[in-house]
Chain A
């Protein structure tokens, strides 16, 4: 499966493509090809692949590569290059893509000899998916592509400088569990590493065994079930689920972190959007940190017990310890803490008021959850649309929420949804977008139309770059410089022009029928929800403040 766009230096590969049996989705902009490979990888757990030509083809993928790098997504990007003899001559469509992407890849290769090609490709895929996953760029000069050699695929990968430590240290695990056992107010802080390592089940099991509430980062959403089946089979909120933490985290998640005496960080990296002011982050807690990447440990926040290893391996070991020596009097020990957490939840739940006239964006997200019954792969763009989705959609399964967390790439959601839809042709895939972000890769509408990919896009159209506008409202004297989008395309006509289906909802009562109809047609649909232009995302921790200092509305 390759997402790509042809050009001069990769013509020979494209010449062979039809005979190869490899499925190829042709994009309309190379940035989208990288994001599609990324969405495919995040949704399926397999390595995503994209292929572009040299020069501008290669540079157009850089945002996609950096996005995948920040969120540890395994993709391999093949770029064409001018013939080896011309490298350095400023040849037509020449660019040093290895140099440009060096800081934002896990590794990269310029292949100068066709006899290295099989080994390099083997290594590239191996590096992309193992350890802390990430993007690998393979640069292919045209003469290397054209050269002929005998295909010898190496049986083993030999990378003496690359031995990721997956096995969590037993002694450290033991020490960590002793702290966990003694803790009165523990919190589990789960990140994207839980999803990448496939350890959602282990995390859920361990949280139940020690009755610790769980919060997750944006990248971690879906690693712990937000809702569970109730007594009558209906879904009810999971009492151990705190919601997301950080800048737009829930009141109860941020308060629980602030008052915890033990923080178990799993596959997370203490990002500034999570911690707020470092001094105010879990000030009373001993911190245990499990991560496969040693550079993530004690980078931003000093850690009491570092555990380098695969999250799954570490959690399995913690589970065996918890089985052997369970927390004594668990229920009575934990009751006051869980009561307190519940009280924070009741005091300031996530909320909005849906009046009779203007559609609230949160209402659209909740309706998407309801109508899809939560059974969908959701992608987002970046900004308010992303935060409302994180807050109001109840993610229950890993790999169902795809969003650009680290880099914050507007224009990610739509191509990522395409990648996810290619990986799962029969699933409902919805990009929850803003009217700002969707325009950054809107050209891919033709890609979904001509490949019959029934991706749904729900635009929360507030006629603003909403998140930037929110910052201007709160911190920049309401000076709405360059954030008003009152001249925007007619999205319904736009969808139709591309051959997709377009719907618009302007009243709250239109939201559900539009969604029902959109989800029932097996065609790409662009939905334009005209929402309240001034709605903000709350709670909000202003930059530089502690996460306990939230603006609540």
Chain B
């Protein structure tokens, strides 16, 4: 693991789904000078509860302040710091890539290798859907980069702690 990755942390936040809750979370980060690399938020199976997953950077002290400050927000029910626990994470990306006659086959091979899907086709472009962890998305983007990526939309990370095996 390189040093950059060492300082990246994934945090899950269970919040009450009330107006302004996202602004409170995001405002905390900007107001106190913390970073957000990516953030996702969506309702959960429990009515009234939203799960936010975000990736942040910072050393141990900063992370501890982030977790404590999040816990201090009245609408935050629980904070999961995934730094030292096993978790699964996935991200989905839509990638529009140049697909001319001579490169189409190569794009499709890459799609196949990464178990991605072609979701839109036009004379010069394919739009791909790919799901995986961060490194998988990065890897496919690097390969497709050689073909010419036109646009990318990534969802950002969603994460859950692994359940205890016993």
* Contacting residues, chain A, for B74 (C-beta < 8 A): 106-107, 127, 159, 161-162
> Given that A161-B76, A295-B72, A298-B61 are contacting pairs, would A110 and B19 also be in contact in the complex, using a CB cutoff of 8 Å?
yes
Inter-subunit contact A103/B27 (CB<8 Å): yes
In angstroms, Cα B15 to Cα A159, docked, is: 12
Query: B51-95: contact bitstring with A at CB < 8 Å (1 yes, 0 no)?
Result: 000000000010011001101111111000000000000000000
> Given that A107-B74, A161-B75 are contacting pairs, would A102 and B24 also be in contact in the complex, using a CB cutoff of 8 Å?
yes
Q: Say if the beta carbon of A160 comes within 8 Å of chain B.
A: yes
Q: How far is the CB of A40 from chain B (nearest CB, A)?
A: 24
* Contacting residues, chain A, for B40 (C-beta < 8 A): none
- Number of chain A residues close to chain B: CB under 8 A: 18
Query: B12-28: contact bitstring with A at CB < 8 Å (1 yes, 0 no)?
Result: 00011001100110010
* Contacting residues, chain B, for A171 (C-beta < 8 A): none
Q: How far is the CB of A218 from chain B (nearest CB, A)?
A: 23
Inter-subunit contact B61/A102 (CB<8 Å): no
Q: How far is the CB of A271 from chain B (nearest CB, A)?
A: 16
In angstroms, Cα B66 to Cα A294, docked, is: 11
Q: Say if the beta carbon of A121 comes within 8 Å of chain B.
A: no
Q: Which of A127, A160, A302 contacts B77 (CB 8 A)?
A: A160
Inter-subunit contact B77/A161 (CB<8 Å): yes
* Contacting residues, chain B, for A160 (C-beta < 8 A): 16, 77
Inter-subunit contact B16/A161 (CB<8 Å): yes
Q: Say if the beta carbon of B47 comes within 8 Å of chain A.
A: no
In angstroms, Cα B74 to Cα A302, docked, is: 26
Q: Say if the beta carbon of A299 comes within 8 Å of chain B.
A: yes
In angstroms, Cα B32 to Cα A421, docked, is: 36
Q: How far is the CB of B59 from chain A (nearest CB, A)?
A: 12
Q: Which of A106, A127, A162, A295 contacts B69 (CB 8 A)?
A: A295
* Contacting residues, chain A, for B23 (C-beta < 8 A): 99, 102
Inter-subunit contact B31/A103 (CB<8 Å): yes
Inter-subunit contact B73/A161 (CB<8 Å): yes
Q: Which of A127, A162, A299 contacts B65 (CB 8 A)?
A: A299
In angstroms, Cα B61 to Cα A98, docked, is: 30
In angstroms, Cα B71 to Cα A162, docked, is: 8
In angstroms, Cα B16 to Cα A50, docked, is: 28
Residue of A nearest to B48 (CB): A160
In angstroms, Cα B74 to Cα A159, docked, is: 8
Residue of A nearest to B32 (CB): A103
Residue of A nearest to B71 (CB): A294
Q: How far is the CB of B152 from chain A (nearest CB, A)?
A: 31
* Contacting residues, chain A, for B27 (C-beta < 8 A): 102-103
In angstroms, Cα B65 to Cα A161, docked, is: 18
In angstroms, Cα B74 to Cα A17, docked, is: 31
Q: Say if the beta carbon of A94 comes within 8 Å of chain B.
A: no
In angstroms, Cα B16 to Cα A325, docked, is: 47
Q: Say if the beta carbon of A293 comes within 8 Å of chain B.
A: yes
In angstroms, Cα B72 to Cα A162, docked, is: 8
* Contacting residues, chain A, for B68 (C-beta < 8 A): 294-295
In angstroms, Cα B50 to Cα A275, docked, is: 40
Query: A478-510: contact bitstring with B at CB < 8 Å (1 yes, 0 no)?
Result: 000000000000000000000000000000000
* Contacting residues, chain B, for A99 (C-beta < 8 A): 20, 23
Inter-subunit contact A298/B64 (CB<8 Å): yes
Residue of A nearest to B76 (CB): A161
Q: Can you list 13 pairs linking A and B with CB atoms under 8 Å apart?
A: A99-B23, A102-B20, A102-B23, A102-B24, A103-B27, A103-B31, A160-B77, A161-B75, A161-B76, A162-B74, A295-B68, A295-B69, A302-B61
Give 9 nearest A-B pairs by CB, closest first.
A295-B68, A107-B74, A103-B31, A294-B68, A161-B77, A161-B76, A162-B74, A295-B69, A102-B27
Q: B-side interface residues toward A, CB under 8 Å?
A: 15-16, 19-20, 23-24, 27, 31, 61, 64-65, 68-69, 71-77
| Seed contacts A106-B74, A159-B74, A299-B65; 18 additional CB < 8 Å A-B pairs | A98-B20, A99-B20, A103-B27, A103-B31, A107-B74, A110-B19, A110-B20, A160-B77, A161-B73, A161-B75, A161-B77, A162-B74, A293-B72, A294-B71, A295-B65, A295-B68, A295-B69, A298-B61
Q: A-side interface residues toward B, CB under 8 Å?
A: 98-99, 102-103, 106-107, 110, 127, 159-162, 293-295, 298-299, 302
